[in-house]
A = this chain, B = another copy of it.
Amino acid sequence: MRRSSFESMSCSVAQTLEVVGDWWTPLLIRDLLMGVTRFEVFQERLGISRNILTERLNRLVETGVVERVPYQQHPERFDYRLTDKGAELWRVIDALRAWGDRWAAPDGAPLELVHTTCGHATESVPTCRECGEPLRRGEMKMVPGPGRTPATPLPRTATPAD
């Protein structure tokens, strides 16, 4: 499923999938966001083999998404915690959850988001950083940015013909 040419694909969606783009990794990040830190607890919650879990956690450590924090010396044992880089993936997990709540949860949301500052059960509403209005799908477009390369996949409106 993985292929090396993803790395040369000048696209931030593809680059993020390099880090979180398999089945288990987003669920690991979900659990890390929910406060899970121990190998055995990930394993139990996900029903995942030790080999796969070790490989995925090592990869998240290598990419700077997760850090190991020792909590015992003999034998050495670690908690796994999200770095700041990793914690910012909350928006990806939130977007996955919100879509699933709407389209794949016929009995209602398994979990609800509470905004502790205002105290309400809520949902996140994506708004424009510049004007503050909610973003709607038909009111957005992608344009080439400063990091564009010939490999950047452009929107069809920017590529004149098939």
Chain A residues in the interface with B (C-beta under 8 A): 1-3, 5-6, 10-24, 26-27, 30-31, 34-36, 38, 40-41, 45, 47, 85, 87-118, 120-131, 133, 135, 137, 139-149, 152-157, 162
Contact = CB atoms under 8 A, between A and B. Distances in A.
Given A19-B104, A152-B111, A126 B124 contact: yes
Q: Is the interface of A mostly helix, strand, loop or mixed?
A: mixed
Given A92-B99, A109-B146, A117-B131, 15 more contacts: A11-B100, A12-B100, A12-B105, A16-B96, A17-B23, A18-B104, A34-B154, A85-B103, A90-B140, A107-B147, A110-B149, A114-B142, A116-B141, A120-B130, A124-B128
